[in-house]
Amino acid sequence: MKKKLVSLAISSILVSPAFANTLSNPQIGVVLDGYYQNGERNNSERSEGFGLGHTEISMSANIDDKFHGVLTTVLETHGDETELLLEEAFIQTLTMPYGFNIRGGRFLSDFGYMNNQHMHSDSFVERPVAYRTFLGSHYYDDGLRANLVLPTDMYIKLGVEALSGSKMSAVDDATAVGVYTTTLKIGDDFSESSSWQFGLSYLRNENGKVTSFEEHDHSTDGHDEHDHSHASAVTGTNLYGADFVWKWAPNGNYKYSNFTLSAEYMLLDDILDSKFKGEKDAPDTLAAYYVSGVYRFTPSWSAGMRYSDAESYDGHAHGDHVHLTSLSDSEIEAMVAWDSSHFGTVRAQYTRVENQDKATDNVFTLQYVMTFGAHGAHAF
């Protein structure tokens, strides 16, 4: 018995040096994202001309055998100013029993399909207009999450989150914990060649209902030239979401060719205080969705199409009454991307934008997204 232990100890000493290097160091990764575009999409973080997108520096490591930690900072430039944003700063449990894990700190909410994924892994230059209008492009916040993965052959994950909700607050005296979400994800393989995932999400926003409007100020439009606040353009008490994604590759070999189809639908409810109910164009519910298909036809080339539509509204006070206007944005987009390797992408994207007045705009973007250092694994 003793001999066994000794030989185990020796073999573990023998194998450790090769891996010591990464174990003792955090994984550090940088994402570089730059672009040129000849126009601007609505509710967007990217302005016309040359610009930098989501420049990211991230670090992650196991803190000990029980916790994992992640820090992601984003550098954003607006004109001459450079902002340092903290997008993720969380700890997560590694060894809780029964399929539980808990995350605390600042993180990307699990609402919907795309929201918890990092922007640099997206197939298009920007999040669809549905996300930009309802979730401020991508919704991250301070709070707590508990997830449970069931021990079943079909993937079933249940999650709940409690978040500060300050980015989604429509009122001045907001409650300290404003947003609660609950999500269900299920998924499986159809065959060796294709897999799917379906999700349902609900986001309760205690401070989402608009109770007052400012004079002549576009209080519900958080994204004018000088205010890149990452706030949602519209809010309400209830946000419902459904999402579906299907991926296919011949024999399940994703290297040479594959296809991804994804779609999400969101419905916003209880948007305005009841005192505005009788007003002309007062929205009862607002809906947004997108459908996207991306086909990789060689290891280094892919192409895709996306359609997205989002309803919103604009409102401001005029003395003793309010003026409300229904708005809508729809975008049809086509993109072609070339991957120089697994770590570099150059993308060209064309977007045809149409608003409530059927006015159209054409936006063409040329973008690169490249990473160096550690490159985290991608979610499905």
Partner 1 sequence: MLSAPALALNIFVCEPEWKALLAAHAPKATIYSATTALQDPHYVQARPSLIAKMRQADMAMCSGAELEIGWLPMLQARSSNPAVQNNKQSMLYASEIVSMLDTHHHVDRSMGDIHAYGNPHVQFAANDMIRISRVVSKRLESIDPANAFSYLVNGVKFREHWRKKLIEWEQRAEPLRGKQVVSYHETYRYLFDWLGMEQIADLEPKPGVSPTTAHLQSLTKLDPASFDAIIYSSHQNKRAANWLHQQTDKPVIQLPLTVSKGQTLDELYDRVLDDLLNVLVEPVKD
The reply on whether position 155 binds partner 1 by CB under 8 A is yes
Residue with smaller CB distance to partner 1, 297 or 364? 297
What number of CA atoms fall less than 13 Å from residue 142's CA on the CB side? 5
Task: Rule CB under 8 A: say whether 195 interacts with partner 1.
Answer: yes
Q: Name the residue nearer to partner 1 (CB basis): 336 or 379.
A: 379
- Buried b / exposed e over 84-122, threshold 16 CB at 10 Å, is eeebbbbbbeeeeeeeebebbbbbbbbbbbbbbebbbeb
Q: Does 118 bind partner 1 (CB under 8 A)?
A: no
Measured CA to CA in angstroms, residue 269 lies from 208, 222, 247, 272, 367 at distances of: 10, 19, 31, 9, 36
Interaction of residue 240 with partner 1, rule CB under 8 A: no
Q: Rounded to whole angstroms, how far apart are CA atoms 375 and 380?
A: 15
Q: Binding string, 254-283, against partner 1, x = CB under 8 A?
A: xxx---------------------------
Question: Does residue 186 belong to the site contacting partner 1 (CB under 8 A)?
Answer: yes
In the stretch 60-99, what mask flags binding to partner 1 with x, by CB under 8 A? --x--x--x-----------------------x-xxxx-x
When asked if residue 347 is in the footprint of partner 1 (CB under 8 A), the reply is: no
Residues 33, 367 contacting (CB under 8 angstroms): yes
Q: How far is CA 255 from CA 123, 276, 299, in A?
A: 16, 54, 6
To the nearest whole angstrom, how small is the minimum distance from the Cβ of residue 105 to partner 1?
15
**Using the rule CB under 8 A, which residue among 2, 3, 21, 173 binds partner 1?**
21
Closest to partner 1 by CB, 45 vs 88, is 88
**Tokens standing for residue 318:** 């005029």
For residue 36, give every residue at least 6 positions away whose Cβ sits within 8 Å of its Cβ, in sequence order, or none.
Answer: 49, 50, 51, 365, 366, 367
**Site membership for partner 1, residue 13 (CB under 8 A):** no
What is the DSSP code string of 133-155?
A: HHSSSS-EEEEEEEEEE-SSSSE
Contact call for residue 152 and partner 1 (CB under 8 A): yes
**377 sits near partner 1 (criterion: CB under 8 A):** yes
SS3 283: coil
Q: Is residue 191 near partner 1 by the rule CB under 8 A? A: no
C-alpha 359/C-alpha 344 separation (Å) is 36
Binding site for partner 1 (CB under 8 A): 4, 8, 11, 15, 18-19, 21, 62, 65, 68, 92, 94-97, 99-101, 147-157, 185-189, 192, 195-197, 247, 251-256, 298-300, 341-343, 372, 375-380
